[in-house]
Structures are given as C-alpha cells and as structure tokens.
Amino acid sequence: MFIDCNPNIKQTVVEYMQKVLLLVAILGVAGLEIIGQEKSHFKVEDDDSCDQVYFYLKSSSGTCDIRTRNGKVPINILGHANRDYIEPEFGKEHIGKTLKAWLTLHDKGKEGFGKKVSRILGKKKTDSENYWNIYLTNYKPYRLNLNYGLGKSYVDLSDIAVENLKISSGNAHVKVGYHSKEGNRVEMDTFQVNVDLGDIEIDQLNLSRAKVVMAEVGFGSLLLNFAKQPQIAGEIWARVGAGSLQVDLPNEPIPMIIFMKNTSYRKLKIPADFKMIKENVYVSEAYDPDAENLLTFNIDLSMGSVVFATK
C-alpha cells in the first residue's frame, strides 16, 4: 500500500472534499425548494346555461399573468407556489345565469421580514416561486375583479368581451394592455382602478371601449395611455391624493375637456395647445361638445400631480 504524506496533496484533498460537501448542500437546499413548490391546475368548464362569467382574483403576492386564447373553457389556471408560504383556494358556483369563479392566493404569514421587504422592493420582478397563468377566452362575456397585494401582473384583454373591470393594487406593479391590438368585443360599462402604494399602467385604454373610468390614486402612480382616438365617448373620474396620474395622448387630435377641482396644492401639466375656457376647465383644439368620441376628465387633485402629455 502506498501512502503519500505530502502536505500539499493533503490540503488539495481537503479543499476538494469541502467543495463537494458545499455542492451537496446547495443541491439539497434547491431540492427542498422544488419539493416545497406544488403545481396546480384549476379549470371551469363551459356551461351553456350561463350567459356571463364573473371572476374574482385576490393575490397576496407573486406573479399572476392573465392572457387570452381561443376555446370554450372560460377559465383555465396553471400555476405553482411554495405551499410553505402560499395556499391557493379555488372555487366556482352558478348564480342564475352567471358562472362565478374565484382564486385566492392566501399568504400564510411564514415569510421572514427580510424576504417580505425584498418582494416589496422587487415588485417589478417575476416571482418564480409563486407564478400563475390565468387564461380567459372569447367565448363568454366577463366581469372581472382583480386584486393584487405584492408582486406583478400583466393582463392581456385582447379580443374578449369584458363588460365590467375592477383592478386594485396594494403595492404591486400591474400592466393592462391589448397585446394583439384587438379591442374589447363589447362596450365596457365601468373600468374601476384603485392604486394604494403600487403602480398600474393601462396601455391602449382606447381599446377597452369603456364608457366610464373611475380611478382612485393614493400614494402610488397610474398611467392611462390612449394610443389612438377612442371610438366612443368616455368619462374619466379620477381622485389623486399624494400620488401621480399621467395621461398619454396620441399626436392625432382628440376632442377633450378637463374639469379640475380647485385645490391650493395642485400640480397640473397640460399640452400647450389646450386652452382654458373658464376657471379650472380646459379643452383641446379638437374639442366639440357634440363629438361622438368626446373624452371628459373630472379630476380631484390633492397633493399629487396630474400630467397630460402627447407622444
């Protein structure tokens, strides 16, 4: 038997074993995380007796993407979460001619303070430990109520019928848009937006075909983007506290009128071609009180800011 007592060789062997043990420890932790995550699949089958689908989402944290696709399955949900921290609850029931379904992602309160803070600061990052894809279809009209605590979400409402929409953000980053540039199949009765500390972006709001937009902004921010002229008239009612509201307008002329509630703390910016027709009332160059697509803004501004900008 050959025994090498060279100390350099012994040191090399020790370092090698340390690296092996470290790798095993890392793989072990990663394996535990994978084991802790559970996949979930919830589905609502079509029912010809239902004329409308109501869907309620309450997400305490994580990433929830809502997308549209063809088919006769009104709601199809695929996701995974670490069950040590998040417990999903799904349910459905029929109420008259309405099919009601809900998904609640309960926070079990076991995350440490440091991880909570990292989720708050990283709200625009995808959460791979708590990720959900929610698919809607163009087969039935919807009433949607979407509530986000922490995390992020992208909501694509292309080419489906949304009769009523409510979105709330506690401290989440939420973007709503029309990825394929196909608008709402029906006129939307009310589009309600509530922002506490988070931020919400509504891209191509003109495609929503919303008759009324009601916005409440606390300390966060809300962006309303009109990529083109709306096809129907709309009223936008906004109350802005210490946060900000930005309205992006296209270069093409839009018939608009803005009513501002007078306040000594206000901060308002409007394009140079707008003019004030009386105190706290502003109109665009294309303003026509009888226009079929007239946009009417009613804004109550406190200590925050409101900016109207053209691209």
Report the pLDDT value the prediction gives residue 111, as an integer from 0 to 100. 53
Amino acid letter, residue 89: E
Report the pLDDT value the prediction gives residue 277, as an integer from 0 to 100. 96
Report the pLDDT value the prediction gives residue 20, as an integer from 0 to 100. 38
Would you place residue 35 in the very low, low, confident or very high pLDDT band (cuts 50, 70, 90)?
very low
Report the pLDDT value the prediction gives residue 121, as an integer from 0 to 100. 52
**What's the mean pLDDT in 156-176?**
96
Q: Which residue has the higher pLDDT, 290 or 263?
A: 290
Would the pLDDT of 16 be above 90?
no
In the chain, pLDDT over 70 holds for what percent of residues? 81
Would the pLDDT of 216 be above 70?
yes
Report the pLDDT value the prediction gives residue 69, as an integer from 0 to 100. 85
Q: Which residue has the higher pLDDT, 98 or 114?
A: 98
Task: Convert the pLDDT of each residue in 184-204 to its tens digit.
Answer: 999 999 999 999 999 999 999
Mean pLDDT of the chain: 85
pTM given for the model: 0.83
Task: Convert the pLDDT of each residue in 112-165 to its tens digit.
Answer: 444 555 554 555 566 678 899 999 998 889 999 999 999 999 999 999 999 999
Q: Which residue has the higher pLDDT, 36 or 199?
A: 199
Report the pLDDT value the prediction gives residue 264, as an integer from 0 to 100. 63
DSSP track, the chain = ------HHHHHHHHHHHHHHHHHHHHHHHHHHHHHHEEEEEEEE---TT-SEEEEEEEESSSEEEEEE-SSS-SEEEEEEEETTTEEEEEEEEEETTEEEEEEEEEE-S-S-HHHHHHHHHTTTS--TTEEEEEEE-SSS-EEEEEEEEEEEEEEE-TTS-EEEEEEEEEEEEEEEE-TTS---SS-EEEEEEEESSSEEEETTGGGG-EEEEEEEESSSEEEEE-SS--SS-EEEEEEESSSEEEEEE-SS---EEEEEE--TT--EE--TT-EEEETTEEE-TT--TT-TT-EEEEEEESSSEEEEEE-
Report the pLDDT value the prediction gives residue 123, as an integer from 0 to 100. 53
Report the pLDDT value the prediction gives residue 67, as an integer from 0 to 100. 93
Please list the alpha-helical segments (H only) found in 182-307.
Answer: none
**What's the mean pLDDT in 168-189?**
95
Would you place residue 220 in the very low, low, confident or very high pLDDT band (cuts 50, 70, 90)?
very high
Task: Convert the pLDDT of each residue in 57-80 to its tens digit.
Answer: 999 989 999 998 888 889 999 999
Would you place residue 19 in the very low, low, confident or very high pLDDT band (cuts 50, 70, 90)?
very low
**What's the mean pLDDT in 264-289?**
91
Would you place residue 13 in the very low, low, confident or very high pLDDT band (cuts 50, 70, 90)?
very low
Task: Convert the pLDDT of each residue in 226-273 to its tens digit.
Answer: 999 999 999 999 999 999 999 999 999 999 999 999 666 678 999 999
